[in-house]
Amino acid sequence: YGKNTIKFLRLHKEGKKHCVKEVEVCTHLRLTSAQEYLEGNNSLVIPTDTIKNIVLVLAKKNGIPTLEQFAIDICNHFMTTFCQVVYVKTYVQEVPWQRLHENGVPHIHSFICVPDGIRFCEAEQCRNGPLIVFAGIKDLKLMKTTQSGFEGFYKNEHTTLPERHDRILCGELFCKWSYGECKDFDFDCVWNKIRECILEAFSGPPDCGQYSPSYQKTVNDIQMLVLSKVPQVQVIEVVLNNTFYNVLDMKNLGLTNDKEVLIPVEAPYGSCACTLGRK
């Protein structure tokens, strides 16, 4: 297969207001042929440069109403235009530009980059198969300073970790879900609802939180809440890249440390992941 990444900005106006979408689009193609590999016969190869042009032409003609719609448009274009394509996958990721506000007033043409979780989507299709739409969020860094522990785990002669019932839970979340073949709903609205579910399941109620007995359980809580609240989601994958914080032992400095000063531990660096679907 071949793939290709292109980054660009799409501007449009709504009345006097400027709207901006900066995206990175990566398109994978797989062809029917193998002759370009075996014989150096390029007659069916679609150059990177042509793929780039097609993505830009579609952006110019259709705009980017939502990331998902744009990815669908690209997949459709390749499947219907090139009979040598047997598989196409399009990944679209957004640069998180947000409109600036001055004293609550939205600015007509100024933006600030706020990378608190990056939105992305994917559309994928095999020839004669359905077009499947995925969406997701990545690089979302969250922390709970209490209501997290890790106890009752498996122990043997290589175990040195103490049991803890009040640790820091901190990590970088990657969530990706499938909408299946659904494609007639408001992708922006659903995405925002899912993001809220993720934050809610991670944190628990604002006044007291909810105890997490492990990274694994928190991953599962996120999946369960999204599946229960958002019927459009068919399958959801969550990866949590953990950052551990150790309470620093300050005894040799003559001080007690009641979970006041903690040091992030670079290694071992852990990660837990799970994919969950509907029955």
**Residue positions forming the annotated binding site for 5-hydroxyisourate:** 48-49, 150, 167, 216, 242
CA distance 258 to 247: 8
Q: List the binding residues for urate.
A: 48-49, 150, 167, 216, 242
CA distance 7 to 56: 10
CA distances to 47, 52, 70, 163, 244 from 92, rounded to whole Å, are: 20, 13, 8, 42, 31
* Nearest residue (CB) to a copy of itself, 176 versus 179: 176
Per CB under 8 A, the list member of 59, 72, 88, 121 interacting with a copy of itself is 59
| Element containing residue 238 per DSSP (H, E) | strand 235-242
200 touching a copy of itself, by CB under 8 A? yes
15 touching a copy of itself, by CB under 8 A? no
48 touching a copy of itself, by CB under 8 A? yes
Q: Point out which span in 67-75, 127-135, 160-168, 179-187 binds a copy of itself (CB under 8 A).
A: 160-168
* Nearest residue (CB) to a copy of itself, 182 versus 216: 216
Residue-level length of the chain: 279
242 touching a copy of itself, by CB under 8 A? yes
Closest CA to 68 of 34, 101, 23: 23
- The interface with a copy of itself within residues 176-195 (CB under 8 A) comprises none
CA distance 134 to 236: 9
* Nearest residue (CB) to a copy of itself, 182 versus 230: 230
Cis before 268? omega within 30: yes
CA distance 2 to 123: 16
Q: List the binding residues.
A: 48-49, 150, 167, 216, 242
* Nearest residue (CB) to a copy of itself, 133 versus 236: 236
128 touching a copy of itself, by CB under 8 A? no
CA distance 65 to 23: 12
